[in-house]
Structures are given as C-alpha cells and as structure tokens.
C-alpha cells in the first residue's frame, strides 16, 4: 500500500498474515487479500457500542453499482484473517471481533465463507450506515447520492458523519459543495492513503451520477472521474473526524 507524500512504500495487506484454524486446533499462516483495506469505522462503532440513531427502521437498498464499488474497496477473503489494525476479519471486511483471530472464538467463521454468505454479511454490515444516512440527511437523495453517502459513512463512521461539514451542507441542499467534501476524508493514522483517495474519488463520481461500469459490467476504480483534490491543509483523518464549527 502506497502512502502519498511519503518517499517509501509500505505494503500492508500483501504481507499481512491470516490465521486458518486446522482440524486439530493448530493455526496455519496464509497471505491475506492483496489490496488496500482500512477497517470500516462504522463496524468498529457497531461492535463497540451500537448507535441508537441507526438501530431501528428499514434500510434503503443499495444499487448494484454501489455494492460493486463497496466490495471492491473492502476486498474479499473467504477465510478469516487479521486486518492491518489487528482485527479479526472475513468476507467483505466483516469484523468478527476487535481482537486478533488467534484470540477470538471463531464459531461459524472458523470455516471458509461462501460468496453468498459474504453478500449477506455485507448487506447486514451496511445497514446501520444506510439507516444513518436516511435518518440524518433531511433532503431527498437520488439512489446514486444515497449509495455514495452509504459507502462513505460505512467507511468513516456514523458519529463522524453526524458531526461533519458534509452533512450540514447536504441539509442546506448545497449538493455541489457537499460533494466536494468527499475528497477531504483521505487520511488514516495521519497519512494520506491511495486507497482512500481512490474511494473518495469514486464516491464523489457516484454522487454526481458519472460513475459507470466498464464494458463487461464490472466496477473499475480506475474509471472513476476525478473532480479535483482538496487543499492539503483541510484534509481529514477518518479515524479522528472533524468538529463542526459552522459552515461558511
């Protein structure tokens, strides 16, 4: 995984190891999925202490292109592994626990996960983020706008979205200004990450209705149109968020 603004490259997921439980209780080490994966802040919130704002009600479904986009950025692993933060994970970024797999009772996740099971987990995992968008955004959203925001909230977390400039702008119907907020949320642990830059670019493209699948009907993050970069002094770390002090 490459970090922008840093002269060296750090490969995280391509060298991280996952633990696969063997029949006799031993653990074999295998490579985790190759790609950029930042733990869903929404799932961390859900495992730590569920937010009341998102625990009830029906979640609006996501469009196929939104699901393909989220799957691409979350990555897929049929077997459990420890993500870069040291959290036991499986499927499309599903958090089994906030501990390493070797310290986690795996239960049904001790075995390989099917794609169907992974899809069901992702639908469940994104519900609280989707409900948060529905409950906090007071203006009407298109399916694409809703999908972009659901992906965004799933990644950065519900509390941070609730305190964001983006939400304030959305509720003032300042959609153009709100869409530019995506590109600010591209840091994690104090560094700008390429994976977050790409994800924000695709979410902004989806929000603005210009995201398309390729000729084979597949999602390709390289096809996401860029709307420009945010000033470097205004970037936000998704693990910290921002404190809303009013919108100018």
Is 74 considered catalytic here? yes
CA distance 239 to 206: 23
pTM of the model: 0.84
**What are residue 187's phi and psi, to 5 degrees?**
-115, 150
Q: For residue 36, what pLDDT is reported?
A: 53
In-domain check, residue 191: yes
- Assess if residue 159 is contained within a domain: yes
* Burial track 110-133 (b if 16+ CB lie within 10 A, e otherwise): beebeeebbeebbeebbbbbbbbb
By the 10 Å C-beta count (0-12 exposed, 13-18 middle, 19+ buried), 245 is classed as: exposed
**Residue 113 placed within a domain:** no
Using the structure block, give the residue that is written with the tokens 């670019």: 201
pLDDT for 26: 41
Beta-strand relationship, 17-21 and 94-97: unpaired
We report the CATH number of the domain holding residue 129 as 1.10.530.40
Q: What is the pLDDT of residue 19?
A: 42
Q: Do the Cβ atoms of 66 and 148 come closer than 8 Å?
A: yes
Q: Which of 72, 83, 125, 237 is catalytic?
A: 83
Q: Is residue 166 part of a domain?
A: yes
What's the number of domains the chain is made of? 1
The answer to whether residue 96 is domain-embedded is no
Q: Which of 46, 74, 204, 237 is catalytic?
A: 74
198 in a domain, yes or no? Answer: yes
Integer angstrom CA distances of residue 125 from 92, 96, 98, 177, 184: 9, 11, 15, 29, 24
According to the model, what pLDDT value does residue 175 have?
98
Any domain includes 222? yes
Domain residues for 202?
Answer: 68-73+119-229
In a domain, 182, yes or no: yes
Give the pLDDT means over successive 10-residue stretches in the chain (248 positions): 42 39 42 66 87 67 97 96 95 96 96 97 96 97 98 97 97 97 95 95 96 93 87 90 62
pLDDT of residue 232: 79
């Amino acid at each position: 995984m490459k970090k922008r603004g840093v002269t060296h490259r750090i490969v995280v997921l391509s060298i991280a190891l996952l633990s696969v439980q063997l029949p006799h209780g031993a653990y074999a080490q295998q490579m985790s999925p190759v790609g950029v994966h930042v733990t869903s802040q929404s799932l961390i919130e859900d495992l730590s202490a569920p937010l009341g704002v998102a625990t009830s009600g029906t979640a609006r479904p996501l469009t196929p292109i939104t699901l393909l986009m989220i799957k691409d950025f979350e990555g897929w692993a049929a077997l459990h592994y420890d993500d870069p933060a040291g959290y036991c994970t499986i499927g499309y970024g599903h958090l089994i626990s906030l501990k390493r797999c070797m310290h986690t009772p795996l239960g049904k996740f001790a075995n390989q996960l099917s794609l169907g099971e992974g899809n069901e987990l992702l639908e469940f995992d994104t519900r609280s983020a989707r409900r948060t968008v529905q409950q906090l955004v007071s203006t009407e959203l298109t399916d694409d706008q809703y999908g972009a925001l659901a992906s965004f909230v799933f990644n950065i977390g519900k509390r941070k979205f609730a305190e964001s400039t983006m939400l304030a702008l959305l509720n003032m119907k300042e959609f153009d200004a709100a869409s530019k907020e995506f590109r600010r949320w591209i840091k994690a642990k104090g560094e700008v990450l390429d994976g977050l830059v790409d994800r924000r670019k695709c979410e902004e493209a989806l929000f603005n209705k210009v995201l398309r699948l390729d000729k084979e009907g597949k999602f390709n993050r390289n096809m996401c149109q860029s709307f420009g970069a945010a000033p470097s002094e205004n970037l936000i770390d998704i693990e910290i968020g921002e404190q809303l002090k009013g919108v100018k």
